[in-house]
Structure 1
Amino acid sequence: MKKRAKAKEINYTEIVQSSQFKKLLKQKRQFILPLSLFFFAFYFTLPVLTSYTTVLNTPAIGPISWAWVFAFAQFIMTWVLCILYSRRAAKFDVMVQEIKQQMRG
């Protein structure tokens, strides 16, 4: 029987210490942190404002109050953030593939 060639073991320490990996982490952090903070601030503003103030009770369009407009805007905000993240994640995936190629060869 033929012996199989042992696959090159992955050196995760080398990957973590590489400049490309550090660049990937930095770019991900610079993208995800501000968007996450914005999401949480926007998301929790509605329940806080409706619970402790009457600011959103005034009519915006006919009988529709600003609370309903704000609530609908949360759906739009979520979709927009998902689209933005999906597009940026594709760029992150390219960077990961480059790191893998570099480590293999």
Structure 2
Amino acid sequence: MNKNEIDYSKAAASPAFQQLLKRKRAFIVPMTVFFLLFYFLLPIMTSYFTFLNQPAAGAISWAWLFAVAQFVMTWTLCILYTKKADQFDRMANDFKKEIGGVES
């Protein structure tokens, strides 16, 4: 094996890489589950229940507020992911230095 070649099997089994994967999974999986539940809850609730049709403020129903909340939730999750991705990128760059890869 050439000195500059990376043993990917060894790299994938390393504790630093496993920690990176664990931290990414611990963030991404719950956020994805939350997003999907929140997103599909509106059509399900409006199909089977009528309380979202009640006025919340004037002519604005609870369904409209829930729909607007979905936009807020999407932007919030995007901002959270962007900040968290910076941490993941730093961890990945540290790992690449550790195994002898080139920092990008």
TM-score (norm 1): 0.91
List 4+ stretches of structure 1 deviating above 6 A. none
Match of 1:15 in 2: 11
Q: Displacement, 1:7?
A: 6.9
TM-score (norm 2): 0.92
CA–CA distance in 2 between the matches of 1:65 and 1:7?
66
Match of 1:93 in 2: 89
Name structure 1 gaps, 5 residues minimum: 1-5
CA RMSD of aligned residues (A): 1.4
CA–CA distance in 2 between the matches of 1:66 and 1:9?
59
Q: Displacement, 1:26?
A: 0.5
Match of 2:44 in 1: 48
Match of 1:3 in 2: none
SS in 1 for 2:69: helix
Choose the corresponding residue for 2:27, options 20, 27, 31. 31
| Residues 46-92 of structure 1, C-alpha deviations (whole Å, 9 max, x = no match) | 00011111010000010000000000000000000000000000000
- Structure number with greater Rg is 1
Name structure 2 gaps, 5 residues minimum: none
CA–CA distance in 2 between the matches of 1:33 and 1:45?
18
Match of 1:81 in 2: 77
Q: Displacement, 1:27?
A: 0.4
Q: Displacement, 1:44?
A: 0.5
Choose the corresponding residue for 2:58, options 62, 72, 82. 62
